[in-house]
Chain A
């Protein structure tokens, strides 16, 4: 079946530090991969996505590359800011009937000045 395993948090970083949040997946077929971000008190917002192997999604300085050989989609940012403090969710969709999304458990990030 389909599943997503995400690095456990919480993660605390100083401003301008490098961020990596690990995400690996198990899927049948060729899923699309997503990172969503949830700011305090808000719903989830799409951060970036990739639809096929070797695609790189990027947005707001965040990047993630779809690695089929390692079944991974790790999120990275070179220099985090206080405003990046949020919960980050990795997710996959197999695109089949039902458009079912499978989410990781979320990783809480706190960036301190």
Chain B
């Protein structure tokens, strides 16, 4: 089954404790992206990657890191989480080539930072 998977689905952590949220897709998509979803703000893009070893900042990159060492994986790293990073996070992927590039979303990771 074609899908985007994220782990963990739920995470509660404390301020300053480094964490990684994994994202993997099995559709051989070149493009991957991370979003955060907050009430009243919709989805905002954190980082995206056009291909292996190519990453770029989205609208809200502060406090986050990403890497793209393999085509299928795109982990999101919070080196020193803070309470304002409490949010619902989505990973997405899409093919590239001919627009429009529909994005396929993972199930989400709900992060709470205390």
User: Any chain B CB within 8 A of the CB of A46?
Assistant: yes
A4 and B92 alpha carbons, distance in the complex (Å)? 19
Closest chain A CB from B44 CB (angstroms): 8
Interface string of B18-50 (1 = CB under 8 A from A): 000000000000010101000011111100101
- Give the residues from 43 to 63 in chain B that come closer than 8 angstroms, CB to CB, to chain A: 43-45, 48, 50, 56, 58
User: Any chain B CB within 8 A of the CB of A98?
Assistant: yes
A99-B108 in contact (CB<8A): no
User: Any chain A CB within 8 A of the CB of B70?
Assistant: no
Closest residue to B59 on the A side, CB-wise?
A100
User: Any chain A CB within 8 A of the CB of B106?
Assistant: yes
A23 and B104 alpha carbons, distance in the complex (Å)? 21
User: Any chain B CB within 8 A of the CB of A93?
Assistant: yes
A100 and B99 alpha carbons, distance in the complex (Å)? 12
A49-B100 in contact (CB<8A): yes
Chain B contact-residue range equals 20 to 34
Question: B105's contact among A43, A97, A104, by CB below 8 Å, is which?
Answer: A43
Number of residues from A at the complex interface, CB < 8 A: 25
User: Any chain B CB within 8 A of the CB of A58?
Assistant: no
Closest residue to A106 on the B side, CB-wise?
B42
A32 and B4 alpha carbons, distance in the complex (Å)? 23
User: Any chain A CB within 8 A of the CB of B103?
Assistant: yes
User: Any chain B CB within 8 A of the CB of A81?
Assistant: no
User: Any chain A CB within 8 A of the CB of B90?
Assistant: yes
Besides A99-B50, A105-B42, 19 new A-B residue pairs in contact (Cβ under 8 A), listed by A number: A4-B42, A32-B99, A34-B100, A41-B107, A43-B106, A43-B107, A46-B103, A51-B100, A93-B101, A95-B99, A97-B50, A98-B48, A98-B50, A99-B48, A100-B45, A100-B58, A101-B33, A101-B43, A103-B43
Please give the residue numbers on chain A whose beta carbons come within 8 Å of chain B beta carbons, in ascending order.
4, 6, 32, 34, 36, 41-46, 49, 51, 89, 93, 95, 97-101, 103-106
Which 7 A-B pairs give the minimum distances between C-beta atoms? A32-B100, A95-B99, A43-B105, A105-B42, A103-B43, A44-B105, A103-B42
